[in-house]
Structure 1
């Protein structure tokens, strides 16, 4: 009996020695991601709070004095990843994952993307030889206080080729730009997929139209799409736009009229309005 109790006691001790108490982290984990063009951009970071402290400045009691290196977050630092090659503030950066380090300033910050992600938040061992990019950006004063350090990806351009990463904490905001190039990917996709599925001719034609490429080729493709689906008002509408771009107003008007009638039969008011506006521009 005593032997059994001893075994049970030892088992309980082993369990308790391995168990851990779970408590919230002082700096919550955060993540933000988006697609810019065809490129996945993701940022993983830890979010420290102000907690009544002075964060940036020159005073002796500030948390992050101007000109000193910061891991741009808490704990193991901030990671940014790109699924394709990009340009960051004009600097070519290969696809992959990087740490973000920064040197805050009164009106300007220095920011770097660091290749050796195993460094984590260990700023003492920072090595300029591992920089993938190093650039300066202007800082802005915020009218409202940001209690918890926040990173956003926004300001995505209409052509989906640029975006900005914003760092905001206390009363300070800085942004740096990301530029992508998806044209080569799209062209390769057009070449590969139009031979597999004729329906892809429509997507290829619209891409050529929107990106200002060869409209004669776009017309060839959209005609193939229209042949496969002659009553598709959305295809006819884009064909009319291509014809307009080629200077064929009469052809564009006839095609837009056909699209309008087809959209009326389908009960699609959006394309009715779009065709009416297009037809006005052709008269």
Structure 2
């Protein structure tokens, strides 16, 4: 069997110390969020190895198709994601492009392969903030939408008189990257508000396990009077566990969610939550992916929907 000695993207990735997806986007001219230092390191490794992109990669570089990929693996399918996709799709359609949404379990290489197979104009990867250097469109606003804006619930809870605030994260492996981002931003927001440290409560989706976890957390942190949840689903698990323990919201613990999902208003007590203008964020991502100005698509500021739980 004859083995080809031609250099591959994997060889370039190994030589330059980056992922294969980063190599693909750099060498195909679609690495808008990769630093210039990293780009040059990849290009240098490719030159030294004699790497030549294949025909599909060349098509990606020239933007031959009018397809934009959106990878949403692991992102909670709440109101914000739906509105984000709606805005992204509408803006792309207005500029005669098509949105292809990927929900499957994709590695960085899988995502790169799909992008090359369809000669994608751009790739927006919401699945893992750890792969942020491989995104071709500006997903900064997208990550803010789905994991950040931590100052909004912190500012609200502090205004209600709470000084000891904890963040509640999901015990879900596929959400760990975004949940970790939220945790860091919550701590930063608490520090900026000159409040005491922000402990973290990780809750499983199972109600019985969540009840035990919350019971232990209360014993360890009796000073905490308010909980800012990762999203509305986590907030509702929190409220359900509180009910099992005989705790009231907001008298014993104030609870605020994130996403303004419709079912939050149907719970008792009705869930206080954070609303974001995700549709505008989708339009911004679409324009950025196409290299168009996005200044006139400024989203409305995130704000708190005040109900009974907080």
Higher strand share: 1
Q: Does the alignment reach a TM-score above 0.5? A: no
TM-score by length of 2: 0.27
TM-score by length of 1: 0.28
Instruction: Compare relative contact order (CA 8 Å, sep 6+) and give the higher one, 1 or 2.
Output: 2
